[in-house]
Amino acid sequence: MPRFFSFLEVKMSIPITKGGYEKIVEEVKHLKKVERPAIIAKIAEARSHGDLSENAEYHAAREKQSFIEGKIEYLDGVIADAEVIDISKLSGDKVLFGATVKLLDVDTDEEVTYTLVGEVESDPDNGRISVTSPIGHALIGKMLDDDVTVQTPGGAREYEILEVKYV
């Protein structure tokens, strides 16, 4: 007889670099040791001002507290489900999670460099793209000197892989 799993039974691992994991751990520590106590103090101070129903300072502090607690819960979940990948132990010409890839845009002759990371540490403005992004997805498994076609909202883009490194 087949067994059906609910989404609660399936634990999904979250790929993350060692540096990204350490950054999230530090952020959680900061939220718990600095931000949480500070907002609790603000709530206590706002309460001392009297009637809470018309106290904008109190309501703003409670809203910020809710945001902080939600972020802590989310990041604790990321830490619990993290699959830390030590990129320093990887090498080769194949594009895998954690690779830093230099590409040539065939149409514009412009070179771009991306590091492929997990969704939680993605930062496109700083060249860190998610492996699930259109470019990241297209690059995974490709080799040095391969041509890659990426479907973007603006249409298909052609890239050539110029360099693959793990740093």
SS3 22: helix
Instruction: Report the alpha-carbon distance of residue 123 to residue 139 in Å, rounded.
Output: 17
Closest CA to 121 of 136, 139, 143: 136
Q: What is the pLDDT of residues 5-41, one digit of tens each?
A: 555 555 678 899 999 999 999 999 999 999 999 999 9
SS3 7: coil
Stated pTM of the model: 0.77
The pLDDT, as a whole number, for residue 5 is 53
Task: Pick out the chain residues at pLDDT < 50.
Answer: none
The pLDDT, as a whole number, for residue 73 is 96
The pLDDT, as a whole number, for residue 145 is 92
Domains of the chain, earliest start first: 14-85 (1.10.287.180), 87-165 (3.10.50.30)
